[in-house]
Amino acid sequence: MDIEPFMLRAVLTALFLGPLCGFIGVFVTARRMSFFSDTVAHAALAGVALGFWLGLPDPTIPMILFSLIIAGLILWLKERTALLNDTIMALLLSGSVALGMVILSLLKGYRGELDRYLFGDILSVGWGDAALALVVLITVGSVLFWKLNALALLTAHSDLAHVSGISVRWLNYGFVALLTVTVALSIRLLGIILVTSLVVIPPAAARNLARSLRQQILLSLLLGLVGAGGGVVLSYPLNLPSGPCITLTLVGLFVVSLIGGRLQRAHQNAS
Amino acid sequence: MDIAFRSPKPAAVEVRDLHVRLGGNPVLRGVNLRIEAGRMVALIGPNGSGKTTLLRCLLGLQKPDSGSVRLLQEGPPDPALLRRMGYVPQRLQLDPSFMLTVREFLAIRRPLTAGWFWRPSRQIDALLHEAVGEMDVTRLLDRPVAGLSGGQLQRVLICSSLLNEPELLLLDEPTAGVDTPGEADFYELIAEVHRRRGLTVVLVSHDLSMVYRHASRVYALNGVICCEGAPEEVMNAESLRQAYGIHFTPYQHHHSHSHGSHGH
């Protein structure tokens, strides 16, 4: 069976980023950072618009950079002001989207591009994106495994992590940077609006079945792989944007895990 | 000449003229404190008296405006010193969506079991065996930490803080989420750990009756240490009035009844 090169690029990128989002998502959901993930994803729109405005053929780098700047701003405002987290993120999310829309409306011929970034498009994934996704999978995945104990302890209790000799501040910054890069890169596949689903749904589905953190991480990796890969494969014959296909595949997996978890518990109670 | 010199025991905690302001308000206004090594002591005081702030200074989580903290006769809290201390917080911030089990929580706290993710459970259990047995948490090992009752969680937290053989154990309102019969069992357990290991225990508590039974020395805090001494000296109405700002007759928990194993 011949496989189109664009399809191969998209499937490979999905297979690299799906498990990574699933892994990092375990800590994102436990630390209640889903809205944070959503905010840095929306901030990417302004980065994309700036890239086009500067005449760059590929806006990936400004997209990641702008998301990192917004992530840093969230942390800075959280430390330096009395504003609530939700308020800070709502402020920066709406501000970035508005900035992106203003820049794009000043440019001509970028309407189609906007849709690609909002909903994801497998046609927009180049070999460079696939290679970058592999590099990010290896580096971010390795750091997450290397810092697994520290992250788990930070999630349980930040003071306890400090007393155990962990530099809580730098671990927080590092985690936010890794999350931002992972999310920004996944926008090509899922789009800005739906990218958080790949970070949130796999760990939530894994939680329905897992009985330990180890199982939750491994299941979340697997569900991210199946959801992202399956969604991309489905999007081509159905002629649909890849973002909604991946998200609906993940929702389907979540429903299956919910039923599976209930059956598992009923079986345990009966025996 | 037959003179027996009794030098004072070394101090596990020494605090000198400690001042901390939070949001412009003075919370600690010149705290002086000396806790002898090997004692089990209690730090009591009303809400807002600075108990938690003082504890945070001892843990290096709060930088004082002036004054000094010296721990285990070495110096201010630093990573090397913190490794020789144990800390039991009031509760964890765990979200129920995080499936961390008791076994995993204990394993991540001990360098010996740091590679838990790749090891079979049996190997981890063998390495944790001693501490787990001492605190009687063996049957909780497979349970998610987020699903434990207040009493069970406190046992697990103490177990985890004892894993690295601390010389100084700090407990912050340890029975905040525990029912009354469970509280008595909990303090008995801490007293037993103290006796067996001979470590210094500092209990930050508002629970006067339990403090009365178990602490060998009590420090009443209200911005400053307003009184200190043996429990029966500090627990008289005048001392407590100074600390709490009200007339107060301490309730003493009488043990003519037996406690069940609630909260375990």
Chain segment A76-102, per-residue pLDDT in tens: 999 899 899 999 999 999 999 999 989
pLDDT for B94 equals 81
Is B258 a residue whose pLDDT tops 70? no
Is B140 a residue whose pLDDT tops 60? yes
User: Do the Cβ atoms of B98 and A159 come within 8 Å?
Assistant: no
CA distance A13 to A189: 8
Which value does ipTM take for this structure? 0.89
Residues comprising chain A, all counted: 271
CA distance B40 to B201: 5
Domain B9-84+167-249 falls in which CATH fold?
Answer: Rossmann fold (3.40.50)
Q: Nearest to residue B71, comparing CAs of B33, B45, B29?
A: B33
pLDDT for B256 equals 41
Q: Which has the higher per-residue pLDDT, B261 or A94?
A: A94
Is B261 a residue whose pLDDT tops 50? no
CA distance B198 to B168: 10
| B101 chain-A contacts, CB cut-off 8 A | 211-213
User: Do the Cβ atoms of A213 and B60 come within 8 Å?
Assistant: no
Min Cα–Cα distance to chain A from B59, Å: 7
Task: Give this prediction's pTM.
Answer: 0.87
Any idea where the domains of chain B sit in the sequence? 9-84+167-249, 91-165
pLDDT for A201 equals 97
| A215 chain-B contacts, CB cut-off 8 A | 99
| B98 chain-A contacts, CB cut-off 8 A | 26, 29-30, 155-156, 213, 216
Residues comprising chain B, all counted: 264
User: Do the Cβ atoms of B99 and A148 come within 8 Å?
Assistant: no
Is B252 a residue whose pLDDT tops 50? no
CA distance A110 to A58: 13
Residue numbers in chain A where pLDDT is lower than 70: 1
Contacts of A191 (CB under 8 A, 6+ apart): A116, A117, A118, A119, A120, A121, A241, A242, A243
Nearest to A152 among B85, B100, B103 (CB): B100
User: Do the Cβ atoms of A155 and B94 come within 8 Å?
Assistant: yes
User: Do the Cβ atoms of A213 and B100 come within 8 Å?
Assistant: yes
Looking at the DSSP bridge assignments, the partners of residue B34 are: B14
Min Cα–Cα distance to chain B from A159, Å: 7
In chain A the domains, ranked by start, together with CATH numbers, are 5-193 (1.10.3470.10)
8-state DSSP, B144: B
Q: Nearest to residue B217, comparing CAs of B43, B3, B7?
A: B43
pLDDT in tens, A208-233: 999 999 999 999 999 999 999 999 99
pLDDT for B260 equals 38
Is B99 a residue whose pLDDT tops 60? yes
CA distance B35 to B38: 9
User: Do the Cβ atoms of A213 and B101 come within 8 Å?
Assistant: yes
| A212 chain-B contacts, CB cut-off 8 A | 99-101, 103-104, 142, 144
| B23 chain-A contacts, CB cut-off 8 A | none
pLDDT in tens, B153-176: 988 999 999 888 899 999 988 877
Q: Which has the higher per-residue pLDDT, B207 or B84?
A: B84
